[in-house]
Structures are given as structure tokens and as C-alpha cells.
Structure 1
């Protein structure tokens, strides 16, 4: 029986990270149904309830150490844990967890990480030291591989895979249809979803999105729906943008599960997203997407499916955004087909993360059975 500890940004009501954890648990359990998983979480009771696994507090180093001493492997990830763009302190926390595991003799795998950017000579030296102590590294994109090379991290085996969420299967659209109906967003009108976040108190991108939302309503006779990936922060950001619009828009102001959000996204005709996992949800559900960048991870994901960002939050314009909207709108079927072909390969790559993890702890027979099941 395998025993794994998972470290990541869990228990903080971020839908993308919770979807990552759900996908990791799902694939690992498919390989070894008896696997024991303990998650380091900001809210252990929520994690236990939401995912059905054991959980310890991210602040309780005694419980973390005790869980690691029983573990066959520490998985650090997925997500963008090892960067200091969104937070300087969190980088040192996650590196500290890696260092603690190695001190306790627990093997370490960086699992589908989005590496960097890491600024500052000291932070980069620390990351080089800790990264080279890992037993195995998988990264979710080639940009992260390049960052490892720049950091001179080369001792562990390194594989480019894909974001764990891409291994999730599409869900039925009925659940999302019911949510949208409760907000008055049912009927024949097309739906355009917008996923936003607060970023450095900037206002430029909020004005641009508000103006584009008005044009979308007028030009396509569509409904605009804002959906939250981080609750309640994204609701607040969406409401500030909705107040800037002249046409009516809808802000979904509840907290939703991974399945509910996937189902909501599946009912959209187009998604415009700042949040990475809103874009990934669109890919999983076969919905055309447009991404705006605040972090290289957005650019990297879109590049992996043959697309690019429409601009970053500092320089995006209404004209460039609307040009992209019209192109996607007129060629929806083409983009659905193109994205589906590329995402098929990424789904296999996402499953590869769990396969490599289980091989690292010696569960090779279970991995072989899992691969045979996938190919049937």
C-alpha cells in the first residue's frame, strides 16, 4: 500500500487548485485504489470533506513531519508554487517543505510544477539547491523546463508533462445549466463567460473588459457571465467590472465545486479568461477561449495548444480583444476541433505525472495495469 503526502495551495477556495488536487487524487487512485493520501492544507477539514482524504494544517510542522515520516513520497504540486511573482513568502514556505522532507529521508517529486519566474539572487540560489535535491521533477510546460535550465537544476530526472487538471474527464452540462438558469441566464441567447481576478489594484484591464463586455452584448446579442475561480475574491473583482458596464451582465456570486464549474463552462459559447484554470476548464469542455496574461503560465498554456494571449493586463486594448472575439466567434467549430486534437495529447501527458510518481515508489505493476486500461 502506497502512502503519499501532497503539498500545494490547497484549502484556500481556489477552484483551479482544488481541481488539480481532485485530478491528482483521481489518477493516483486509478493506479492504486488502496493508496493513502495526506494533503497539507490551509483548511484541513474542508480538504477532508471535499476530497475524502486525510489532511494536516500547513502551519502544523509537527503533524507535517509525522505524515512525511510515514510517507513513501512527497508530491510538491501541482501548480505554480515555486515562484515569487504573486507572493515572496510562499516560495520559501514550499522550499522549506521540500527541505524538511529530505531531512526526514522522504523521497521528493516536483509534480507538474509551473516553475518561476523567481526573482532575486538569493531566492534563485535557494531554489537551485532545493531543486537539485529532488528525486524526480515533472513540469507542466516547456517554459518551466527552460526556467529549470536557467536555475541550473539538472540532477534529478526531468520530464515535461501537462497540468494535472487536463486529465479530468468532461462532465455533464445539466448541472451548470441549472446554475445559469437560477441567475436568469437560460434561453436561446449565446453565453460568453469571463473569468477575472484582482491584480495589483490595476484598473486599466477592468475598463477594457467592461467595454468589451458591452460590445459583445450589443454585437452578438449575447449574455455575459462572470464566473469566480477564487471565492470570494474573484466575485469582488467581477462586481467592480460589472459596475463599469452599460449593458447588463451577470456575476455568479456563489462558491462552486470543480464539477459545477466545469459544467457551467461547458454551457458557454466562448470564455475570456485571466485565470489559468478557467482556460483549462474551457479546453476540457471543448469551449473556445481567449486568454489575457498576468503571469507566464497563461502564455505557456496557450502556446501548448497552438494559441497565444490577446495581451497582458497592462497593455490589452478593446480593439485587439474584440478582433480576437470576432475571429473565435466566426470560427468556433474550427477552434473546437483544433483545441480538441492538441488537448488529447495533453491529457495523456497529464496522466503521466501520476504514472511517474507511482514508478518512483516502486509500484510498477500497478502503473502497467493502468496503462493497459487506458489503451483498451
Structure 2
């Protein structure tokens, strides 16, 4: 029986990372139902009920070392794990896991990762030394391949695939009626989802987003619904935008699983998002969307999906956005068809992640 340890940014109520983990678990089961899987999580007590596998706390060193010592494969799952944009501490944590796994003789796969930015000289050197020991790397976008090339990481097998959430099997049994009733969402009005996050110099875009939301409500009678993709952190920025609006909007106040948020997005007429995985959720549900670029990963996927995008958060031109929204609201089917074609291609590319994983488990 092969033993697999799965590591990522899990247990922090970040919907995108939770969806990535769900997709990884499904891929592991599809490869073999007999795999012994252990997940490293910030909330290990919640993992068995949600994902069907046991877990240990990601910061309990003894438990982590024991899991890595006994595993055949370390799977570093999804997201932008190797970067020092948020902190070097996070980078050292994930590099440390790779180093330990290789010391114990395990194989390692970076699974549909985004790489970078890694700016500090010592961090770039350390990343090159350790990641060159990895067996296989699949990347969710070509931008990360450029980062690997710049870091002179040449030894692992490398392939550009797509984000694993494109391949997530949707739970068709979820009803959104209860969510809408609980949150006070008016289903008689066209629902527009807004998924924003705190970022640099946010006061300027908060004001413009408030004006845009007012425009949608006044022009289309829209029900604006702010959905926190990272709970509860994203609620604060939603409240800031709502406070500057003339009309009342709905701010989601309760935690929902990735599958529940995907189902809710499926009821929307339009999605406006800084959050990458909200855009991917909209794509798999065929919902017209507009991305707001704060990170190269967002710009990459809006180009892959060929959807509307605000290219810079500090240069939001409301007139141009309103024109784009008018086209989407008036001819949604044309946008849905375009999204469906591009999403089908990305789903196919996302399936390649499983094939590379299966090779290492043979």
C-alpha cells in the first residue's frame, strides 16, 4: 500500500484552497482506492468528515515528521505555495517539507502549483537547491514556468497543466435556496456576485466598486451579493464597499464549503472578482464574469478564458466597465458559449495532473 502525504494551504477557510484539496482527493481515489493518504491541515479534526482522509496538524512537528518518514510520496498541492510575496516563513515551511521528504527517501510532486514571486536572493538560492530535488512539477500556468527557468530549476520533470479546480466534480445535490434564505438574498432580482479582497491602496478601488455596484442595482435591478472567498477575512472589504454604496447589498456572513459557493455562483447572472478561484467557479458554471487583476495569476486565467478584465486595480475606468457589463447582461448566451469552449480545454489540461501523479505512484 502506497502512502501519500498531501500538503498545501489547508484548514484556513480559503475556498479556493479547499476546492483544490477536494480535487486532489478525488484524483487520488481515482488512481487507487487503496492509497493511505494523510493531509497536513490547520484544522485536522475537520478533515476526515469533509475529505474522507485522516489528517495531522501542519504545525505539529513531531506528527509531520512521522508522516513524512513513513510516506512514499509528498504531494504539494495547488496554489502559490513557493513564494515570498507574503512572507519568507511560508516559503521556508514548504521547502522544509520537501527537504525532509527527500531525506526520508520519498518522491515529491509539486501538483498544479503556481510559483513565485521569489525575490530575495537567499530565497532564490535555497529554492533552487531544494526544488531541483523534486521528481515532478506540474504548473497551473506558463508564468510559473518562466519563474522556474529564471531560478535554474532544471532537474525535475516539468509540465504546464491547469488549475485542478477545473476538474472538480460538482455536487448537484446542493440546494442554494436555504443559503439565500439564510443570507437574505432576493431571488426575484438578478444576482451579481462580488468577490474582492484587501490589497494595496484599497481606498481608491473601494469607492469605485461602490459606484459600480450602485450602477448595477440602479440600471439592472441587480441584487449585489458579496461572497467572502477567504472567510471571514474578505467580509471586511465587502463591508467597506457596502458602506459607500447608496443602496443596500448582501454580505454573506456565514461560512460555506467550496461546493456550496460554486452552487451559489451557478445562480448568478454575473461575477466580478479579484479572487482567482471565484473566476474559476464562474467558469465551470458558465457564468459571465469580469476579473480584476491584482496578481499575474488572475490576468493569466482571464486571458485563458477570454473574458473581460480590469487590468490594474489602481486604474479602474467605470465607463469602460459599464460598457462591458452592458454587453454581458444583454447577450449572456454568447459569453456563456465562449466560456464553455475555453473551460472545456482547461478541464482537459487539468486532467493531465492526475496522469503525472499516477506515474509517481506506479
TM-score range, shorter chain: over 0.9
Unaligned runs of at least 5 residues, structure 1: 363-376
Which range moves more in the overlay, 271-280 or 342-351?
A: 342-351
Residue 150 (structure 1) aligns with = 150
Tell me which moved more, 13-22 or 196-205: 196-205
Deviation at 1:51, TM superposition (A): 1.5
Give the Å deviation of 1:39: 0.9
Matches within 5 A, 1:265-276: 265-276=265-276
CA–CA separation in structure 1 for the residues paired with 2:86 and 2:319: 28
SS of residue matched to 1:334: helix
Shift in Å at residue 145 of structure 1? 1.2
Q: Give the whole-Å Cα distance in 1 for the aligned partners of 2:317 and 2:35.
A: 49
**Distance across 2 between alignment mates of 1:27 and 1:345:** 18
SS of match in other structure, 2:224: strand
- Aligned-partner SS, 2:148: helix
Q: Is the 8 A contact 1:177 1:263 kept in 2?
A: no
CA displacement, residues 189-231 of structure 1 (integer Å, 9 cap, x when unaligned): 2111001111246211211111100001011111111011111
**CA distance in structure 1 between the aligned counterparts of 2:220 and 2:349, rounded to whole angstroms:** 37
Inter-partner Cα distance in structure 2 for 1:301 and 1:294? 12
* Residues 191-230 of structure 1: pairs in structure 2 closer than 5 A: 191-200=191-200, 202-230=202-230
> Any idea what the Cα deviations from partners look like across 1:55-100, whole Å, max 9, x if unmatched?
1111122211211122111011211111122333211211111111
* Residue correspondence of structure 1 range 53-64 to structure 2 within 5 A: 53-64=53-64
The aligned runs of 1:260-299 (5 Å cut-off) are 260-299=260-299
Would you say the 8 A contact 1:140–1:163 is kept in 2? yes
Change (3 A) 1:31 1:11: same
Equivalent residue for 1:316?
316
With over 3 angstroms needed to count, the CA separation of the structure-2 counterparts of 1:96 and 1:242, relative to structure 1, is same
C-alpha separation in 1, matches of 2:361 and 2:52: 22
1:87-127 alpha-carbon deviations (Å, 9 max, x no partner): 33211211111111111111111100011121122211112
Q: Which residue of 2 aligns with 1:372?
A: none
Preserved contact between residue 81 and residue 94 of structure 1 (Cα < 8 Å): yes
Question: What SS is found at the alignment partner of 1:75?
Answer: strand
Residues of 2 paired with 1:224 and 1:65: CA distance?
Answer: 47
Does the C-alpha gap of structure 1 residues 351 and 287 become closer, same or farther in structure 2, counting only changes over 3 Å? same
Task: Work out whether residues 15 and 257 of structure 2, in 8 Å CA contact, stay in contact via their aligned partners in 1.
Answer: yes
The whole-number CA distance in structure 2 between the counterparts of 1:99 and 1:237 is: 38
Point out the more displaced range, 43-52 or 98-107.
43-52
CA distance in structure 1 between the partners assigned to 2:87 and 2:301 by the alignment: 21
Q: Distance in 1 between matches of 2:308 and 2:151?
A: 25
Which residue of the partner structure matches residue 252 of structure 2?
252
**What stretches of structure 2 of length at least 5 have no aligned partner?**
none
Counterpart of 1:365 in structure 2 is none
Question: Is residue 82–residue 118 contact of structure 2 (8 Å, CA) maintained in 1?
Answer: yes
Matching residue of 2:329: 329
The more displaced of 42-51 and 280-289 is 42-51
Contact 2:289 2:308 in 1 (8 A): no
Residue in 1 aligned with 2:189? Answer: 189
8 Å Cα contact 1:171/1:262 also seen in 2:
no
1:330 positional shift: 2.5
| 1:21 counterpart residue number | 21
Q: Tell me by how many angstroms 1:174 deviates.
A: 5.7
Which structure 2 residues correspond to residues 1-376 of structure 1 after superposition, within 5 A?
1-172=1-172, 175-200=175-200, 202-307=202-307, 309-362=309-362
Deviation at 1:31, TM superposition (A): 2.1
Structure 2: distance between partners of 1:103 and 1:357: 20
How far apart, in 2, do the equivalents of 1:87 and 1:177 lie? 40
